[in-house]
Amino acid sequence: MNALVERIHGIVGPAGLVTPGEVAPYATDWRKRYVGVPLVVVKPATVPEVAKVVRACAEARVAIVPQGGNTGLCGGATPDASGSQIVLNLSRMNRIRAIDSHNNTMTVEAGCVLARLQEAAEEAGRLFPLSLAAEGSCEIGGNLSTNAGGTAVLRYGNTRELVLGLEVVLPSGEIWDGLRGLRKDNTGYDLKQLFIGAEGTLGVITAAVLKLFPLARSRATAVVALADPGRALDLLQRLLEGCGERLTGFELFSDSCLGLVLKHFKDTTAPFARRFPQYALVELSDTLTGNAVAGLAEAALGAALEANCILDATIAQSEAQASALWKLREHISEAQAHEGPNIKHDVSIPISQIPEFIRVTDIELARAHPGVRMVTFGHVGDGNLHYNVSAPEGVAAPAFVKETPAVNRIVHDSVARFAGSISAEHGLGQLKRDEIRRYKSPLELELMRTIKNALDPLGIMNPGKVL
């Protein structure tokens, strides 16, 4: 046995080492795009164990790949193929250390699965609002390290906004206890901000103090028909002005998206008797019980109809109807996959620029790649578009996938012209590590490297990711 592995074995014991035959799931990313070969996969059970493992790796100059639920979409938690990096999987550290309902906080370990935290909050009569497709298996340490977004950002912010304190094992193996549960603390640099969204390149997040919110007790869900994305922005403003923080969801999808969902999911039905160019899925919620929020939705959408801002609207009359409307939005990704190969983009731009961005980028793509089919949808309330490009009818997967770099170039260059971001909510990982160099200023890249070198001078924390 390698001397370092032997030392780690002494720290974590047999239960903390994955046997060679079981390593595969930890060595591959969720989308199966990256396959690595780890020196060893370590699953420590306590913070001191994490600290000792990191110190051992630092002394041996061996790189560490922190990993949670391994559901990331950019290969940020996959080791390289050298056989020299260790995977440090935090899944065994899954205790909820405390819930303080009068402080509206919850102190949790990195390995807690997100859905379990949502449930624990609800049992305490509170809401933990972070919500995303992988919530049944992703872990909060990964959510923190990628500053995850999801469906509740419009009202509650990204993961970064949900954190009051962190505990981090630094690249030296020291434990930084920043587990404060304070809403105001201006005593120097806000160090936790460095580790949130750093994708494990500056240290290993082992625990966090998270904010809790009041539970929503009434809800209204609607699908609205629109002439174009510009009207969607007008509707968004109307709803923000009229309904304020009650607006918890505002998703846009084009008729092509709806068409794919209706085609591939036989249990779905169109929201209107006729088809329209665009649709917005709107959700209002309130801490109050009763029908007030439904009445408000009706009044606001009625006024929008009268002002010719929208073309039609259907408001769910039951939980089942609300869930059926949400399915039209939630099934888009899978429907697109059934339809054939496609090239995905997770981009954000200033909300005001979304209609113009879609218009000019669609034109550029159609010119350069005749026949491509646009499947555009996303969290428009946050400026986040999943701007996806499907192959022209009849084009085979391999031929179209070869176009990925050329398509990315057009889309990402357009994003840059609109002062947007080429990774809104998924991070950089390995996937966009090279791509970002084209779009970030040399000065900003240098600042990032300065921070990296200052905090991780040996370069052992997740090398090959982000930077």
Binders of a copy of itself among residues 8 to 37 (CB under 8 A) are: none
Measured CA to CA, the distance from residue 40 to residue 201 in angstroms comes to: 19
Question: Cα 62 to chain center, whole Å?
Answer: 29
Which residues lie below 8 Å from residue 282, measured CB to CB, with a gap of 6+? 221, 222, 223, 224, 235, 239, 247, 249, 250, 297, 301
Query: Which of the stretches 48-56, 196-204, 314-322, 391-399 binds a copy of itself when contact is defined by CB under 8 A?
Result: 196-204
Determine the size of the site formed for a copy of itself (CB under 8 A).
91
Out of 35, 182, 337, 363, the only residue in the binding site for a copy of itself (CB under 8 A) is: 182
Nearer CB in complex with a copy of itself: 17/191: 191
Query: With contact defined as beta carbons under 8 Å apart, do 27 and 36 qualify?
Result: yes
Least distance CB 140 / a copy of itself (angstroms) = 16
Question: 245: which DSSP letter?
Answer: G
Instruction: Return the SS3 of 265.
Output: coil
Measured CA to CA, the distance from residue 107 to residue 209 in angstroms comes to: 4
Q: Compose the 226-255 pattern: x for residues touching a copy of itself by CB under 8 A, - for all others.
A: -------x--xx--xxxxxx----------
434 touches a copy of itself (CB under 8 A)? no
Out of 440, 458, 459, 463, the only residue in the binding site for a copy of itself (CB under 8 A) is: 440
Measured CA to CA, the distance from residue 24 to residue 80 in angstroms comes to: 13
445-464 positions binding a copy of itself, by CB under 8 A: 447-448, 450-451, 453-455
Q: What angle do CA 181, 186, 190 make, to 5 degrees?
A: 75
Least distance CB 348 / a copy of itself (angstroms) = 5
Q: Give residue for tokens 């390698």.
A: 2
Least distance CB 159 / a copy of itself (angstroms) = 10
Query: Which of the stretches 108-116, 129-137, 287-295, 400-408 binds a copy of itself when contact is defined by CB under 8 A?
Result: 287-295
Strands (E), 269-366: 278-286, 312-315, 342-343, 346-348
Nearer CB in complex with a copy of itself: 12/210: 210
User: DSSP for 294-310?
Assistant: HHHHHHHHHHHHHTTS-
Out of 56, 257, 310, 424, the only residue in the binding site for a copy of itself (CB under 8 A) is: 424
298-327 positions binding a copy of itself, by CB under 8 A: none
163 touches a copy of itself (CB under 8 A)? no
Least distance CB 378 / a copy of itself (angstroms) = 10
Least distance CB 6 / a copy of itself (angstroms) = 29
Least distance CB 219 / a copy of itself (angstroms) = 13
54-113 positions binding a copy of itself, by CB under 8 A: 100-105
| CA dist list (Å): 355 to 91, 228, 232, 329, 408 | 42, 8, 9, 19, 19
Out of 186, 266, 320, 367, the only residue in the binding site for a copy of itself (CB under 8 A) is: 186
